[in-house]
Structure formats: structure tokens, C-alpha cells
Amino acid sequence: MNTIIQLDEHLSNKIAAGEVVERPASVVKELLENAIDAGSTEIDVAVEEGGLSSIVIIDNGHGVPEDEVELAFLRHATSKIKKESDLHRIETLGFRGEALPSIASVSKLTIETSANGNAGVELTYQGGRLIGRAKAKARQGTKIAVRELFFNTPARLKHVKTINTELGKITDIMNRAALSRPDISFRFTHNQKQMLFTNGRGDLRHVMFAIYGKQVMEKALPIHHETLDYTITGFVIEPEVNRASRHYMSTFINGRYIRHFPLVKAIEQAYYTRLPSHRHPIVVLSIAMDHSLVDVNVHPSKWDVRLSKEEALLKEVTESIERRLARETLIPEQTSNDVIKEKTPVFEETPLPLSYSEKQPVRETVEEPVQSHYEVESIVKQEPNVDVPVERVVAPTPTPQPEPEVKEEQREEEPTERIPPLYPIGQLHGTYILAQNDRGLYMIDQHAAQERIYYEEFHALLYKKNRDVQELLIPFVMEFTNDEIIHIEQLQEDFQSIGLYMEPFGQQAYRVSAHPTWFPKGQEEETIRELTNQALELKKPDVVALREEAAILMSCKAAIKANRHLRNDELLSLIERLRACEEPFTCPHGRNIFVHVTTYELEKMFKRVMN
């Protein structure tokens, strides 16, 4: 029979680390929260090899007194709460007292800190055990270096993802921290390459510009709404600039980034009917409320919360965004191709420098008062976004039946007989083709039909050995966020396999030097943006999946839209091309192309036959 024993402090910390320290990003998050709680105005974060090699965080906060540093590495030792009632009004990001001992137990950690201008102290831990103590410089603040994370827990290290995956997680943590506290200057570097810099002047627009780029900020609408219980501030982005995932929705309560699904749904409700299906808005929303109305003591991650008066809050969030959007004319502007060609190429603009330099020429532009709309230098014609699921649904191929021998000419014509000859008789609302034969009436969705036609053509082009590529005399530049840049770097070979060639241009942009010749004229940048978004959404991107997504996306963009009236010869040509398709019954998204009403059913409707 096993005997119950009290686990020692070292083993307890190692067990707790499994819940608190899941990956390098967890370390960055916990140490960032400590630095912010310490009243820092400048925080530097430097990581090597996705945080697996080292994580160094330096702040200028109030530091830790020399006689309390060792106490900080004991489990549940904290300066942020004193008594049970404090749990009902948590005003700091951290409060559990688990982070430092948990991190130290699975790494080689060094802390150097000084408080109140006194002499500093340096402690060194290895696997949670103190192995060194020394005097340090009297520099106000704290420096923590975490090296060889999970060196003593090989099972945990085995499940850590690739360097780029871990870097993406850390970048996300840094972006959210910067968005939550624009009054703090953040500098983030990876392998000595600067990934993010904010000036700490309290201007959220500067932070959003540094993270999302110019295109998003041109469509940013400020939000400010107050009630007796809540103050809601931030920016919502006009619906025409949207994304394929909810990743770009950042919500904060009392400066804490949270993941609260009802709040996400309240935001999306404000965009209802303004966004295509399966598209999501870009939003940065901060909610200030009395600390007693929010319970953050739900999970060690502190991302999940419970809210008092939640229903009232969600209603205020939805209505405040709806009112802001209702004040704008949300019709995408359209420019002819000739005008677009006359515009100054975007790549000639000066990119925003991300450095500590006091002279930043773009900064004044970013800090101009927010307008309802920004001046747009180049606008590409917008087409409605269409839901593009990964899986493609097609009609099953009929099982061949035994048949007598026929002439070779008859066999060659057989595939077109999957759809019998049809004779167009007109259109309904410029959207549905009406056709007939001796079997009855056929209604054809013209957009879905041409989608199928183009999909099979583009699919064949993508698998050609020699793809048709248009090299650009004047390349154009596209901006991306830091985490998008990380994934795009991994997808370069896949993009090139479909004829899309991009190269890094500055810190947050890529220059497009060539693309397939069949990209819609005047919509090249929009097409690349959509293709990139779809590629980022793929759980396991590969060449086959990317080619599939490209074919679906291009067919949707190239296909004829609703309310387009066609001549009779155009109707006939469309039908004949559809009959020649391998799978002519559904569009690439799996929607039916045909509705067939037999002659018999028509006669029944008009009581010409009685049954």
C-alpha cells in the first residue's frame, strides 16, 4: 500500500511548471506581466531560437529589494495580494506567485535586480535550485535571463514545436502586450533581429500601425463609449478589411488580454450582415470596469475570466460598435485599371522605422488626429469575399454499366452526355440561366457554373510543368504583421510552386516580383492577400493544399457575378463549356449548379396532367 507523503518544494514547483510553463511563450507572458506590474515604462525582450535557447527580459520597474529576491522564488510568494478579500479586486496582471518558481524549476535562470537606488543582487538558479549569489550594479529595474528551457524535462521538450511556431506564439504575446499598454515602450528582438518597437507615448494608433501596417490603419474607426459601469475604447476596422480567422480580434479588460467567447460574439454581432460568411473583423477593444466586476482567478493562464453584469456589457459592446459603423459610408471605393496604373507604386513610400531613434519621420503621420477615413493612395477593385472551405465537394461519378460495343466516335462524345444538350431561353434577375430541352426546364447558377469551369482550368494550369508567370517591370510591396511574416517565410517554396514570387522588403513587407498571368487584372494585390490568408488558415500547409486553395480562390474571383445580363450566344457558350467539365454538377465549394424541373412536374403544376 502506498504511503501519503508531503512533496518537497522542488518537486511541487516542477509539477506546477507543467501547468504554468507550457512553452517559451508562457515564460515571456509571465515575465512580461511581472515587468508591467512593476511599473515599467520600458521593456526589452530578446529571444534566441524561438525562446528555446534563451529569453532575456529587461525592465526599468521598481525592482525587488535584495532581502526579498530569494523569497520571490518560493511557491505562492507574491507582493500583489495580502489577504483573501484581495482576490475579489485583483488590480495586477499577476497574483498567484507561481511563475518564477515554476520557470526556474525547468530552466537555467539568472535574475539581476535593484530597487530604490540600492546595490543590486544577482541570483542564479538551475533546475529550481539556487547555485549562485553575487552583487550586481545598482541599475533600477530587473533583468531575467532564462536559458535552456526544459533542459531537465525531456518529455516536455520533445513536444515543443518548431522554432517558427514558438516564435509566432511569442510574437502574439508581444503584440497583445503592446496593444494593451501603449504607454509602455516595448522592444522585441529575435536572434538580434528587431521584430517590434513601440514608442510608449500612449498612442494606440502608433502601436496598431507597427503591428498591422498602413492598410488596416487607413480603415480604423475610433470607439469611445461610457456607462456607469464600463468605459469602452479602442479601434474597429471597416468591414472591407477583414480576415479569415478571429486571431485579429484583441479584447482587453482592465489592461489584461482575455479570450472570452461571448465578448467575441458580441463584437461579431455588430458586424452582422456587413461581413461575408466565415470572415471576421479586425478589432482592438479595451474595457475598463470596476475590478470587483471581473474574476480573473479562473485558470493559471489568466486568459479566461468570469464577468458580473455580463449581459449588459455585451449589449453595450455590440451597440457601441454598431453605432460607430452606422456613421460611415461602408461602400468600398473602386478605381479603373487605368487610374491604378497612374498611381505612385506603394513600394516607393518610406516604411515606418522601428527603432529607439528620436527622429522618426513617419511618426508624425501616425500621430495625426484620427479621421473617419484616411486618404487612400491606391485602391484595388474589391469583389465580395466568398467562403472557401478546404474540402471540395463534388458529385459522385456514376458507376459504368456493361454495354454493347459502340463506335469510337460515340465513346468520345459520351462524357458530354452527363449533361444533355441544353438550349438557353433567357435569364432570371441576371443571375440564373434558364434553359430547356425535351426533359424539362433547367435553372443554372451562372456564377457557380463559371466557378466550376475556371476551377478546372486553373487547376490544370497549376499542375503544368511550365507555368505561365508574369514578371513585373515595377514590383509592388505588401505589408504583413510580424506573425504573418513568420509563416510566409515558411511558405515561400509553396508559393513559388504556383508561380508567385515574393521576397522580404524591410521588416514588415514583401515585394512581389512575379505572379501567375491569370491573376485578375487590377486585383493582383487583393488576390495575393486572400491567398496568403487562406494559406495561413491551413493547419498543415503543403503544395497540394495551397494549389487547391489557389484554384478555388481564383475561380471565385474570375467567375461572372450576379446581376450580369448575358447575350444568348454567351449563355450558350457558358453551358457548352460547363458540359465539357469533368464534374459539372457542383461549384468548387460544393454548391449545386443545376436545378432541374422535369416536363412532367411542370405539367402537374399547371394541372395539365392529373395523377
> What confidence score (pLDDT) does residue 307 get?
86
**What pLDDT digit, counting tens, does each position of 125-167 carry?**
999 899 999 998 878 899 999 999 998 888 788 788 889 999 9
Query: If you average pLDDT over residues 197-207, what whole number do you get?
Result: 95
> What confidence score (pLDDT) does residue 329 get?
55
Q: What is the CA radius of gyration of the chain?
A: 30
**What pLDDT digit, counting tens, does each position of 442-479 carry?**
999 999 999 989 888 888 877 776 667 888 888 889 88
> What confidence score (pLDDT) does residue 411 get?
38
Q: Which of 416, 385, 382, 395 is nearest to 552 (CA)?
A: 385
User: Residue 531 in 3-state DSSP?
Assistant: helix
Average pLDDT of the chain, as a whole number: 78
324: amino acid identity, one letter: R
Q: How many CB atoms neighbour CB 354 within 10 A? A: 19
Query: If you average pLDDT over residues 201-213, what whole number do you get?
Result: 94
Counting other chains too, the contacts that 118-125 makes at CB distance below 8 Å and 24 or more residues apart are 118/65, 118/66, 119/66, 120/63, 120/66, 121/66, 121/69, 123/69, 123/70, 123/73, 125/73
Residue 301 has pLDDT above 90, yes or no: no
Identify the band that residue 41 occupies on the pLDDT scale cut at 50, 70 and 90: very high
> What confidence score (pLDDT) does residue 607 get?
84
> What confidence score (pLDDT) does residue 259 get?
87
Identify the band that residue 202 occupies on the pLDDT scale cut at 50, 70 and 90: very high
Domains of the chain: 9-202 (3.30.565.10), 213-382 (3.30.230.10), 386-611 (3.30.1540.20)
Q: How many CB atoms neighbour CB 70 within 10 A? A: 16
Query: Of the given ranges (146-150, 411-415, 482-486), which has the lowest mean pLDDT?
Result: 411-415
Residue 404 has pLDDT above 50, yes or no: no
Query: Of the given ranges (51-60, 76-85, 168-177, 303-312), which has the lowest mean pLDDT?
Result: 76-85
DSSP code, position 280: B
Residue 364 has pLDDT above 50, yes or no: no
Residue 382 has pLDDT above 70, yes or no: no
Query: If you average pLDDT over residues 582-605, what whole number do you get?
Result: 84
Residue 369 has pLDDT above 50, yes or no: no
**What pLDDT digit, counting tens, does each position of 332-354 carry?**
443 333 333 333 333 333 333 33
Residue 40 has pLDDT above 90, yes or no: yes
Residue 110 has pLDDT above 60, yes or no: yes
**What pLDDT digit, counting tens, does each position of 232-260 carry?**
999 999 887 888 889 999 999 999 898 88
> What confidence score (pLDDT) does residue 1 get?
53
Q: How many CB atoms neighbour CB 477 within 10 A? A: 18
Distances (CA, A) of 341 to 346, 348, 454, 474: 12, 14, 26, 11
407: amino acid identity, one letter: K
User: Could you give the CA distance from residue 215 to residue 238 in angstroms, rounded to a whole number?
Assistant: 11
Distances (CA, A) of 140 to 40, 65, 80, 117, 121: 10, 11, 20, 6, 11
Higher pLDDT, 285 or 492: 285
